[in-house]
Amino acid sequence: MEDKITVVEVDMDASELNRIVEQWATETKFVLNQKNEKRILYSKNIRLNTAWLSIEGEGENAKIIAWIAPKGLKPDVKGNAWSGWKMAVSNGPIFGPAAIYRKQFNKLMETLKIKSANIVTNNNQPKIEKRIFVSILVAIGAIEFLSGALSVISAVTFTTSYPELGNISLQNGIFNMVLGILTLISSQMLKNGKELALWLYGSTILLNVTYEIAMGHKFPYLSIFFSALIIWQLATSKKEWGLA
């Protein structure tokens, strides 16, 4: 893992840019951390993290650099496994301090876009390779299939003494095996560059939710959350992974 930051190139008069950022900092309760010829640096503690925003350069070369890092990690120090790493302002599903900072950062971007049309954002964030993601789907599918198979085996044991429990275990087992198979098929489609992998996996999640509700189980919030992350990754990586 390595440090990741968000870099925004802004073509704007330096005094106007500084005024806008200073007003934003006051509204969002960021404090001025450093001001010299090299940069103007603002920071704000958000729980156990620190959000940073730096203005560097002027005119066509002006840049806004933003990141969030564990509290105590200085702006000019590289992150590591011991102290943690700097994280870019993510566009994907996030929560906690990173989500709080993104909301405040986006407010600044909206103001700047009104003042200048020449704004280029480079979100330097880590990207998951397709082969790694395929492996993740294979692991999920295998776990679902094996857990379903174990439930089917257990159902055979329970059927004689506890017919009702055995039937429920059998139904759940068969359903989990089907989900596992569909997920494994999705992984192979993704491996072969098929966009259908996105739709098949999405259908699998919808099928799972429908089954849980029909069986009177609690709504699978946690499962839906992680599934949404997977679908989001598939959707945003279509071009990069060559899905067609």
Domain 6-123 matching CATH 3.30.450: the answer reads no
Token reading at 91: 């566009």
pLDDT digits (tens, 9 = 90+) for 196-228: 888 898 888 888 888 888 888 887 777 787 788
pLDDT digits (tens, 9 = 90+) for 77-98: 988 878 888 988 877 667 889 9
pLDDT of residue 178: 93
pLDDT at 9 exceeding the cut of 90: no
CA nearest to 144, candidates 204, 200, 220, 231: 204
- Integer angstrom CA distances of residue 55 from 69, 180, 219, 237: 17, 49, 46, 30
195 CB-near residues (< 8 Å, 6+ apart):
238, 243, 244
pLDDT of residue 126: 46
Q: Which residue has the tokens 């996105």?
A: 198
pLDDT digits (tens, 9 = 90+) for 142-153: 999 999 999 888
* DSSP classification of residue 95: -
pLDDT digits (tens, 9 = 90+) for 53-68: 999 987 667 889 999 9
219 CB-near residues (< 8 Å, 6+ apart):
209, 212, 213
pLDDT digits (tens, 9 = 90+) for 159-198: 667 777 778 888 888 999 999 999 999 999 988 888 888 8
Token reading at 217: 């189980």
**Amino acid code (one letter) for 192:** N
What CA dihedral angle connects 131, 208, 168 and 136, to 10 degrees?
10
CB atoms within 10 A of CB 35: 12
Reduce the DSSP state of residue 122 to 3 states and report it. strand
Contact 43, 51 (CB under 8 A): yes
Is residue 206 exposed (0-12), middle (13-18) or buried (19+ Cβ within 10 Å)?
A: exposed
Locate all alpha helices (DSSP H) within 29-96, ordered by sequence. none
Range list for CATH 3.30.310 in the chain:
6-123
Reduce the DSSP state of residue 223 to 3 states and report it. helix
137 CB-near residues (< 8 Å, 6+ apart):
183, 184, 186, 187, 190, 201, 230
pLDDT digits (tens, 9 = 90+) for 19-42: 999 999 999 999 999 999 889 999
Give the span between the Cα atoms of 185 and 205, in whole angstroms. 14
Instruction: State phi, psi for 71 to the nearest 5 degrees.
Output: -60, 130
